Amino acid sequence: MSLWSIIKLTFKYKKSFFLSIIANILHSIFAIISIPLLIPFFQLLFDRVQQNPQVQPTGRDLNLWVKYYLSNIISTHGQQQALLWVCASLIIIFLLKNIFRYLALYFMIPMRYGIIHDMRNDLFKRLLTMPIGFYTNERKGNLLSSMTVDVNEVETSILSVLESIFKSPVIMLGSIIFMLLISPALTAFVFILVILSGIIIGRSVSKLKQDSFSAQEAQASLTTIMDESLGGIKIIKAFGGEKHQFDRFAKENSRLKSIMTKVINKRDLAAPLSEFLGVTVVTILMYYGSLLVFDKTLEPETFFAFIFAFYQVIEPAKSFASAYFNVQKGMAAHERIQKLMATIPEDELIHSDGTHLKFENEITFKNVSFAYEADNMILKEINLHIKKGEIVALVGSSGAGKSTIADLLPRFYDPTSGSIVIDGKNFKEIPLSVIRRLYGIVSQEPILFHDSIYNNIVFGRENIEMQQVEEAAKIANAHDFISALPEGYHTSIGERGAKLSGGQRQRLTIARAILDNPPILILDEATSALDSESERYVQDAIQKVIQNRTTIVIAHRLSTIINADKIVVVDAGRIVEVGTHEQLMENGQMYKKFVEMQNFTSL
């Protein structure tokens, strides 16, 4: 990842970019102009200007020209007025210099934070379009770190790039030209020392980008552990896992400390080292320049101006050290962000033209096999027909492949081989958003958001009237408890629905699933224990929503299985038995064994 990748981020904000550059250049010009004004000040201070006008100079000797104009002013207005004129000029120049410095920062703000705003939006949008399989392999801490820490590092690097490229070089160049006009030999001598100093500083902060990348990876790991721990705090306490989690955290925290110590040591070394080398160079400059003054080769006031000009060079040069550190960190952070942005998202047709697909006849699995990883096939040659209006119960032991079959229907994953066809049309030929509008999904663990009940039910849908929401809630046996809440449908339910009971959360997810009256319902029956009243409400809601609707149930309750039109028994990724309850009890082996061993919850 190059410096150019950071600069390209500014292109969208051309107006702010160019206004900031212009203001930076003007700030630099006035900073440079302030240097020659020091010469007349020192000349007046040391009384080294003749009051009678001299002959107009013809050469390029800056000192002679300053003396010529200053002597004219003194002869016309007097020495005190000349001093007042020089001081007033210095004040005006420094005022303009700092006005343009402020304007440079002012124009930079919309660009600086606009880039970060766009980057966060683009990154979050990309994360939302990633396939489900992406989240199986990616740590959540990495993603959270990219959205926060990495984006902030890029912001800092943008500021450093603009400062170091469009302001500091102009000041340095102007100051160097001024120094060359005063004494080319002295300037050459100084910059030999500066180049040697730069080589020393460069070696001292080598490999910063690599170390910064490692630090950001360690920060992401730490964020993952914190997120897991806070999300699973009940389990940690229930199993006495506090020490285990703390040890994990402490180990990763120590690794981060070690890496950051190395990074910060290199960063902190840059400033004092550059200051020491700068003082060394200035001391040598003062010694060598004083010899020139003693030899009458250089006048004292010109030498003072030369030192000030050199200071104008050395300060930006010192800032390059910290800018280099920030840019290296920013490049490492941008590389991590670009790695995420380069990941192939889901079907690019996820946002369709609004076309609706009608489910008329059946969904067919044709020799479908699926693997999360190439060498571990989860589903093997699945052949299954799901007719419109059927209730299909998927039955099998944990890990048999039931949930994977259900996940293939809304294309959370695509088959590794084989095909899934709806009314004769291959799923892969249909935009994702069109396919997913066919389904209402009720997951085993209720997934709700820190928002109002209304927004959780209408989630992802637009132009939904309250009457529709209430109707869905009534079918899901949720309307009564919602109405009893102080703010009704506008009640905030807390993080993950923490303010509601387990049964209430499940009923909300059912209401959300049926709001659009989808033709197909995918239901993963909850196995969590509910009190008898909540259980009754939930089961009654389920029975109502599956009537006259194509339903695929990952079944855990015998009552649901018995009422299914088709029971599909899955074992080790294969369909081993298909039939009704009566057929399988009479002719089946595995299903009958499941029932006899009471593997299902009886109501």
Rounded to 10 deg, the angle between the 300-341 and 242-294 helix axes is 150
Residue 72 Cα distances to 48, 53, 62, angstroms: 14, 5, 16
CA torsion through residues 582, 586, 589, 593, sign: positive
DSSP, res 8: G
What span, in angstroms and rounded, lies between the C-alpha atoms of 472 and 545?
Answer: 10
**pLDDT for 384:** 92
**φ/ψ of residue 369, rounded to 5:** -125, 150
Taking CA atoms, 582 is separated from 278, 431, 559, in Å, by 92, 39, 13
Strand partners, 376: 373
Total number of residues shown for the chain? 603
DSSP conformation letters of 390-409: -EEEEE-STTSSHHHHHHHT
pLDDT of residue 383: 94
Q: What type of residue is 20?
A: S
Q: Note whether 581 and 555 are within 8 A (CB).
A: no
Q: For residues 140, 113, 7 and 268, what is the CA-based torsion angle, rounded to 10 degrees?
A: -70
What are the helix and strand counts (H, E) for the chain?
24, 10
> Could you tell me if 272 and 200 are in contact, meaning their C-beta atoms sit under 8 angstroms apart?
no
- Residue 60: its pLDDT value, please? 59
Nearest to 363 by CA among 424, 428, 407, 416: 424
Residue type, 388: K
- Cα–Cα dist 363/389, whole Å: 11
Handedness of CA 485, 486, 492, 498 (dihedral sign): negative
**Cα dist. 278→88, 300, 322, 324 in Å?**
31, 21, 15, 17
70 to each of 57, 82, 122, 146, 471, how far by Cα in Å? Answer: 13, 7, 60, 60, 90
Of 48, 49, 46, 55, the C-alpha closest to 74 is 49
CB count in 10 Å sphere of residue 553: 26
Which domains does the chain possess? 3-341 (1.20.1560.10), 439-518 (3.40.50.300)
With contact defined as beta carbons under 8 Å apart, do 294 and 111 qualify? no
Residue 385: what pLDDT?
A: 93
Mean pLDDT, consecutive 10-residue segments, the chain of 603 residues?
65 83 85 74 59 58 60 68 78 90 86 82 81 75 77 77 70 81 82 75 63 73 73 61 78 83 73 74 82 81 80 73 71 79 63 63 92 86 92 88 90 89 88 84 82 86 86 88 90 84 86 87 70 72 82 81 89 91 87 74 45
Would you say 318 and 275 are in contact if contact means Cβ atoms under 8 Å apart? yes
* Max CA distance (Å), the chain: 127
pLDDT confidence of residue 78: 67
Distance CA 603, CA 398 (A): 21
Task: Read off the tokens for 117.
Answer: 């705003």
Sign of CA dihedral 277, 283, 286, 290: negative
State residue 305 phi and psi, 5-degree precision: -65, -35
Rounded (5°) CA angle 372-377-382: 110
* Three-class DSSP category at 556: coil
Do 48 and 299 meet the contact criterion of CB atoms below 8 Å apart?
yes
Q: How far is CA 473 from the centre of its chain?
A: 37
pLDDT digits (tens, 9 = 90+) for 229-256: 766 665 566 556 677 778 878 888 888 8
Answer yes or no: are the C-beta atoms of 146 and 138 closer than 8 Å: no
CB crowding 448-468: b at 16 or more within 10 Å, else e? beeebbbebbbeeeeeeeeeb
What is the pLDDT, as a whole number, of residue 235? 58
The answer to whether 365 and 383 are in contact (CB under 8 A) is yes
**Three-state secondary structure of 274-320:** HHHHHHHHHHHHHHHHHHHHHCCCCCHHHHHHHHHHHHHHHHHHHHH
